């Protein structure tokens, strides 16, 4: 399932973002009877970003690297602009 948060202005679902790593999340996504619910797993202060970790499979589906090791090689650095 995917959440489309582009609905009406003021839709709080547009504020839910994907955490970069599990420890950063402050929400847990729970799927029940075809619906997705969010439960706070940490204290969330006013104005704080809402972050949920969907798991490594979802991150890979989005094309987000799991580590920076993929980008490290022995080539010379690019010249500064």
Question: For residue range 12-36, what is the model confidence (pLDDT) as tens digits?
Answer: 777 888 888 889 999 998 888 988 8
Per residue in 45-79, pLDDT (tens digit) is 998 999 998 777 666 666 666 564 344 344 444 44
Question: Nearest 5°: CA angle at 53, between 51 and 55?
Answer: 165
pTM: 0.59
- Rounded to whole angstroms, the Cα distance separating 37 from 42 reads 16
CATH fold of the domain at 12-71: Beta-clip-like (2.170.270)
Residue ranges covered by each domain of the chain: 12-71
């Amino acid at each position: 399932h995917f959440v489309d948060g582009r609905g009406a202005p003021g839709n709080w679902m547009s504020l839910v973002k994907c955490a970069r790593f599990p420890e950063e999340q402050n929400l847990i996504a729970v799927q029940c009877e075809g619906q997705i619910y969010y439960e706070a797993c940490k204290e969330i202060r006013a104005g704080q970003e809402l972050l949920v970790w969907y798991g490594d499979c979802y991150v890979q589906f989005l094309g987000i690297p799991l580590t920076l090791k993929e980008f490290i090689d022995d080539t010379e650095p690019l010249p500064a602009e």
